[in-house]
Structures are given as C-alpha cells and as structure tokens.
Copies of this chain bind each other. A is one copy, B any other.
Amino acid sequence: MQVIELVERLGRAARVETYTNDTVLFRRGDPTRHMFGIIQGQACLRRTTFEGTELIIHRAHEGDLFAEAALFSDAYHCDGQALAGSRVAFLSKLGVHSLMQDDGAFASAFCQRLAGQVQRLRSNIELRAIRSADDRIIAALSLRVGTGEANYDLAGTWKGFAQEIGLSHEALYRALKRLERANRVQRQGRSIRLGVKQLGD
C-alpha cells in the first residue's frame, strides 16, 4: 500500500501540505492527531538527549510513513520536522483507526506494510554489523537481487546506497573498485553484476 493510495483511501481524513521551508510538524508532548506520509522530500524525528544535544531518531524519505507510532499513543514522543521542499500527507489518527476497525482488508494491508518495514530494518541492522566494507556491499547487493539474478540496477545514486548501508561514500567507491579488481562484481554506472568470479573463471 503506497502513501498515495492511503491518502485516497482516507478521503477527507487526509490532507496534503507543501512546505518551502523547514517546518515543525509536531512537538514532543503534543496530543497525537495525525501520522504522516512523505510524498516528496524528507522529514525527520528528533529527540533531545539528557545532555541537551539533538539526536536524530529517524529520517523519512519519499514514500515512507512517518510517526506511525503516534497512532497508538496519546502524545508524540519526539519532535517531527518536515524539511524544506517537502510534500507531506497528514493522515488522521481517527480516520486510520476507524478504517482499521471496519475494514479487515485495510488492516491487513497496513500490517503488511509495517511487517515489510520491520523485516527490512532488521536485516539492515544485521547488515551494518558486517565490518568489512567489501563484504557488507556484497551482502547488501545479495539481499536486493532477485533469486537467481546476478544483475542489479541501482534505484538511486551510489552515494545514497552508501548511506543506506552505513558507509561513507568514499569508502563505498574504494570498496567497489577493490571488488571489481578482485572480479567479485562488474559495474557499469549504476548497474552492477554480482559474482563474476564464479561465472567467469
């Protein structure tokens, strides 16, 4: 279930806002009235540590849901901010709840989305536990290619990929070069082929 579908499904219980500047969506302690969907741009959840420094808890990108936990809480636990140039859908908490109550198929689809999230996040955490940049990249790519496939076309940029798997972009580019030299991958722009070693010789 895409964010857009969710907005359509909710009808009057959803509205979309466009922000040219960074804008606060909610503050910690505010009563929860909405969860959010990022249609364009980015948003982030922030909390202040005990020592007063800002801690970013989550960066949401295009297509992500944002502050889902608000559905099940009376007050927000963090500060939420939309970054400049974002389009954000406000999804009414009550609207979502009543849909979930009345429409089993909707509830199921919503759970599906969350379950998928959980799965991806968990594997991402384990991925980041791989210390070696080379191995982490191979593992990340292996998770993304379909069964039996060897080719993978990167959706975004390599720089973005680096961030997704928790590497600096420099480290990523260097590792890619090493992997190519070792014939573990073969790359052309944003397309990559795995396992040249086994297939080639």
- Listed in ascending order, the chain A residues whose CB lies under 8 Å from chain B are 45, 47-51, 53, 55-59, 68-69, 71-72, 97, 100-102, 104-105, 107-108, 110-112, 114-119, 121-126, 128-129, 135, 138-139, 141-143, 145, 150, 166, 184, 194-195, 197-198
> Which of the residues B49, B71, B118 comes within 8 Å of A69, measured between beta carbons?
B118
Majority SS at the chain A contact face: helix
Between A53, A59, A108, the greatest number of chain B beta carbons within 10 A of the residue's beta carbon is seen for A108
In the assembled complex, the Cα of A71 lies from the Cα of B111 at a distance in Å of 9
Is the pair A56, B126 in contact by a Cβ cutoff of 8 Å? Answer: yes
In the assembled complex, the Cα of A194 lies from the Cα of B145 at a distance in Å of 45
Known contacts: A56-B126, A72-B116, A124-B125. The answer to whether A142 contacts B184 by CB under 8 A is no
